[in-house]
Amino acid sequence: MAEPRILILGAPGAGKGTQSANIAEAYDVEHVTTGDALRANSEMDISHLDVAHDTPREFMDRGELVPDEVVNEIVAQALEAADGFVLDGYPRNMDQAAELSEMTDLDVVLYLDVTESELVDRLTGRRVCSECGANYHVEFDQPDEPGVCDECGGELIQRDDDTEETVRERLRVYRENTEPVIDYYDERGQLERVDGEGTPDEVWSDVQATIDAAT
């Protein structure tokens, strides 16, 4: 078949970025992620939209959702350019889910299931490469040399929204806006639930088996 079209859902810190990197490599598909796209364009001027803040960064640093107009456009362009893809970070509310259904069909919808106490530990301990974006964790996934990326030698930094206070707000926004999206795919019988609490390798073998069974 053509390259698979995969959606990966889960709370902040569930491991979407970690598993999407594996999927992109193993299935030779594009990793389309609104979080990374917005971080790369965080100072973009969106004042013409008449929304609460003038740049994506101001929404993200508060743990709030960036307005749909901005995000829908990013995803529409990225999906148009991709053959197969793994989509990570979108849709985050029901309006975005409706937009996505106009843009493309999906072959697999994965949901990484992780409890809330684990999410806070993962996010506050996460470090990311400032050069290539690779993910690490100060306890669960340490680089060979502290503070240095194994992949490219870049400096590892903490994301601005990974402070405990902002993490709590992101989880609240997730429960309010994104859990209905999970329910929506579940009710349509599309949701493939994967236990996200094992080690990254254990989760990866479940993810891979689920994709292979569904495609």
Contact positions vs Mg ion (CB under 5 A) = 17, 35
What six digits make up the tokens of 154? 């870049």
Of 5, 57, 122, 126, which residue is the catalytic one? 126
Looking at 5, 96, 110, 185, which residue binds ligand AP5 (CB under 6 A)?
96
Stretch that binds ligand AP5, among 45-53, 87-95, 98-106, 183-191 (CB under 6 A): 87-95
- Looking at the Cβ atoms of 4 and 119, the one nearer to ligand AP5 is 119
Cα 111 from Cα 181, distance rounded (Å): 11
Which ranges of the chain would DSSP assign to H, the alpha helix? 16-27, 34-40, 56-60, 68-81, 94-103, 116-124, 164-173, 179-187, 200-214
State yes or no: residue 157 binds Zn ion (CB under 5 A): no
Cα 148 from Cα 72, distance rounded (Å): 34
Whose tokens are 């995000």? That residue is 71
Q: C-beta of 1: minimal distance to ligand AP5 in Å?
A: 27
The single-letter code of the amino acid at 181 is V
- Tell me, yes or no, if 170 is annotated catalytic: yes
| Signed CA dihedral, 204, 210, 212, 214: sign only | negative
- Tell me, yes or no, if 92 is annotated catalytic: yes
Pick from 29, 16, 205: nearest CA to 110: 16
Looking at 67, 125, 143, 154, which residue binds Zn ion (CB under 5 A)?
154
Read off φ and ψ for residue 11, nearest 5 degrees. -65, 165
Stretch that binds ligand AP5, among 22-30, 101-109, 145-153, 193-201 (CB under 6 A): 193-201
Kindly list the catalytic residues: 16, 92, 126, 159, 170
- List residues near ligand AP5 by CB under 6 A: 10, 12-18, 34-35, 38, 59-60, 63-66, 71, 89-90, 92, 96, 122-123, 126, 135-137, 140-141, 161, 170, 198-200, 203
